[in-house]
Structure 1
Amino acid sequence: MKTKGLMMLMLIICLAMTACGKESSSNSAGEENSAGYEKATIRLAYNLPQDHHVAKGVEQFAKDVMEKSGGAIEIQVFPAGQLLSDKDMNQSILTGGVEMGVNSSTLWASTVPAMGIFDVPYVFTTYEEAGKALNGELGDKLRDAMEEKGAKVLMFADYGFAQFANNKRPLESPEDFNGLKIRSIGDIPSEMIKAYGASPVFMGGGEVYMALQRHTVDGATSGTTAMVQRKYDEVTKYLTINNYAYLQFLLAVNNDFWNRLPEKSQTLLMETAKDTEEWIRSQAEIEDSETAKQLADKGMEVYVVPEEDIPLWKEAARPAWNAFAENAGDLGEELLEMVD
């Protein structure tokens, strides 16, 4: 009886395992749902605060893809550095450690030097100008360069224009930078800061508040959205609006993963990303305007560089253009010819 009981138990276990296997198979990639999409799970990581307009756009992108695919394509979002730091993001995307990620063009420039074009001073002076370039030949060349390295760009997410905040004095001309220590955001902006007579200092975004408070640095460059979020108004007096760099974040996907997706899924992701890109671009202009006003309302003295003075600031920043051209090679020269 014991032997028969044991055999019966083993039979039940085998049947259960077979049923589980069938259930697992029915949920595997390759099966289409009623909307005609194959099931897929995509991990998407980013480091921005969740209340940033780029982050909001990315979160909505994930929701829209899931809704439009009838739940077949699930994008699992890992915000605010929960999964990867910005320094580890690019390598993880390129190696397939994560399927999708959002990171700054400045950090991508270490892999694709031409991505540094967004840091070149005064390349783009309006939101419309930047959008036209990204939707045209310049954007196509950058996308091609990224694909050659192993990542496909689904979206250029506009962060907004970069400005300067400092504690010493109003920066109303390049000469006013002389002798200051300024926290920089990359190699190309550092060349501009040096050309203006100041000393660039590198540090993470989370370290800037304390450095300004302790006068380790005299000022910093960033977008006004970040300045509000990081409470620059508490530790700096002066804000200079000169729109010297149009900061970009890229939503990129691992090439190998992308090529394994069905064409229908690829089309959905690209179309949804395009809609999101347009929304983020419209929000960038709104956020820049509103956050600059918030900083002024909080007591910062704001100086807006007159449009007629921009050519003087641009000419003084020429060493930064030269540094980009040298680093980015022939493609860099092509891009500069498009925008100069």
Structure 2
Amino acid sequence: MKKLRYFSFLLLLTGVILSACSNGDETPKETEASGEEYEPATIRLAYNLPSGHHISEGIEEFAKKIEEKSNGQIDMQIFANGQLLSDTDMNQSLLTGGVEMGMNSSTIWSSTVPAMGIFDVPYVFEAYEEAGEALNGEFGDILRSEMEDVGVKVLMFGDYGFGQFANNKRPLESPEDFRGLKIRSVGTLPSELIQAYGASPVFMGGGEVYMGLQRQTVDGATSGTTAMVQRSYDEVTDYLTINNYTYFEFILGVNQEFWNDLPENTQTLIEETANETEEWIRQQTKLEDERTLQVLKDRGMEVYEVTDDELDIWKEAAMPVWEIFEEEAGEAGSELLDIVDGE
């Protein structure tokens, strides 16, 4: 009997030891899986671009990666395609903390931060790689500083692509062909350009353009070919002019006060993920511009591509916009223009 009790005791002891060893093995695995500990946080991120756009895809992946890397401790709540805020309401909400993060166009930001209008200055960038190089240097630093002065930290610049003109009246083969047209605009400098070309600007949010074209509230609109495809411009316009007059940028910003209150490791995680996403978006931009231009051609739009020989006429007609930008953006604007001019 004593031997039986002793044997039972040994079995029990062995079980306890094995159980302890098993638990000891699981703990490192859990630690390895969870990685660094992050303070729980909820971040609302709003944007207005349609699903399927390469910037939209980048933003969705950005949010997904943050949640994964933080093991769900950082809850990214995404409000896409204007479901929470229109592009015209976005910036005020971000500045006041109504939303923690927002992705909006530099054009709309320029009403609050005039230096952001640099992307609306016609023909500042003539090649895709020029924008990336500028944003990674002093040019980008100036813009980030200007945004921080109003209370928003820039997390990334999202390259949208070159801007073009679509309309439902006639081919636009020279600035003179704009005369008498009503063209959708979203900001001061785009409106100045439209007027310089002889047309009348009409302010309208991105989600309203299709209906505006359909009802002939406007005769045309300026946008990138990526959004033209996503918003089915080919159904309500017949003509497309490719003149690469502007290089649209979207800015992912975060409310500065909210950002300052985040733990350092959370800030690092977000910044690193934003840098990865910015690079991915930049790599997609040219590919998407080329792909969506072909889609619009295939859908029957009549496309006129301005040649290098003709471009000087377009540039000369647009020069008043350069002067207006410099007046509005002051010293920062002059510095930005000097940098892109190579001075």
Q: Normalising TM by the smaller chain, what interval?
A: 0.7 to 0.9
Query: How many residues in Structure 1 have an aligned counterpart in Structure 2?
Result: 308
- Give aligned-pair identity as a percent: 70
1:13 corresponds to which residue?
none
- The match for 2:26 is none
TM score, norm. by length of structure 2: 0.86
The alpha carbon displacement at 1:210 in A equals 3.2
* Separation (CA, whole Å) in 2 of partners of 1:60 and 1:207: 27
Question: Cα distance, 1:272 vs. partner?
Answer: 0.6
Preserved CA contact (<8 Å) 2:147 2:153: yes
Whole-Å separation in 1 of the counterparts to 2:208 and 2:337: 33
Report how far residue 180 of structure 1 moved: 2.1
Give ranges in structure 2 of 5+ residues lacking alignment.
Answer: 1-33
Deviation at 1:85, TM superposition (A): 2.1
Deviation at 1:204, TM superposition (A): 2.5
Report the more deviating stretch, 86-95 or 210-219. Answer: 210-219
Partner of 1:15: none
Kindly provide the CA deviation profile for residues 66-112 of structure 1, in whole angstroms up to 9, marking residues without a partner as x: 21223222212121222222222112211222211111111111111
Query: Which residue number in structure 2 is paired with residue 108 of structure 1?
Result: 109
2:280 matches 1:279: yes
Q: Conserved in 2, the CA contact under 8 Å of 1:185 and 1:222?
A: no
* C-alpha deviation, 1:50, in angstroms: 2.2
Number of the residue aligned with 1:181: 182
Equivalent runs, 1:45-194 vs 2, <5 Å: 45-194=46-195
Give the equivalent residue in structure 2 for 1:301: 302
Can you list the C-alpha shifts for 1:11-33, whole angstroms capped at 9, x where unaligned?
xxxxxxxxxxxxxxxxxxxxxx7
Q: Which amino acid aligns with 1:320?
A: V
Contact preservation (8 Å) 2:45, 2:76: yes
Question: Contact 2:184–2:218 (CA<8 Å) still a contact in 1?
Answer: yes
CA contact (8 A) 2:88 2:205 kept: no
Cα distance in 2, alignment partners of residues 34 and 159 from structure 1: 34
User: Residue 243 of structure 1 aligns with which residue?
Assistant: 244
After TM superposition, what 4+ stretches of structure 1 lie above 6 angstroms from structure 2?
A: none
Q: TM-score, normalization: structure 1?
A: 0.86
> Residue type of the partner of 1:43?
R
Question: Aligned letter for 1:36?
Answer: E
Q: Distance in 1 between matches of 2:67 and 2:208?
A: 37
Equivalent residue, structure 2, for 1:196 = 197
* CA distances 1:9-60 after superposition (whole Å, capped 9, x unpaired): xxxxxxxxxxxxxxxxxxxxxxxx7523222221111122222211111110
Query: Secondary structure in 1 aligned to 2:99?
Result: coil
CA distance in 2, matches of 1:41, 1:163: 38
Q: Is the 8 A contact 1:102 1:252 kept in 2?
A: yes
Partner AA of 1:212 in structure 2: L
Q: Over aligned residue pairs, what C-alpha RMSD do you find?
A: 1.6
> Gapped runs of 5+ residues in structure 1?
1-32
- How big is each residue's C-alpha offset from its partner over 1:244-269, in whole Å with a ceiling of 9 and x where there is no partner? 11111111011111111122211111
Q: Secondary structure at the match of 1:123?
A: coil
State the one-letter code of the partner of 2:340. V
Classify the secondary structure of the residue corresponding to 2:122: coil
Offset from partner CA, 1:206-248 (integer Å, 9 cap, x none): 3333333343332211111221122221222211001111111
1:289 equivalent in alignment to 2:285 = no
Q: Are 2:254 and 1:253 aligned? A: yes
CA contact (8 A) 1:122 1:244 kept: yes
Instruction: Answer yes or no: is the 8 Å Cα contact 2:183–2:202 preserved in 1.
Output: yes
Residue 162 of structure 1: how far off its partner (Å): 0.9
User: Secondary structure in 1 aligned to 2:134?
Assistant: helix
Q: Does structure 2 conserve the Cα–Cα contact (< 8 Å) formed by 1:151 and 1:254?
A: yes
Deviation of the 1:196 alpha carbon: 1.3
In the other structure, the counterpart of 1:318 is 319
CA contact (8 A) 1:185 1:221 kept: no
2:289 aligned with 1:262? no
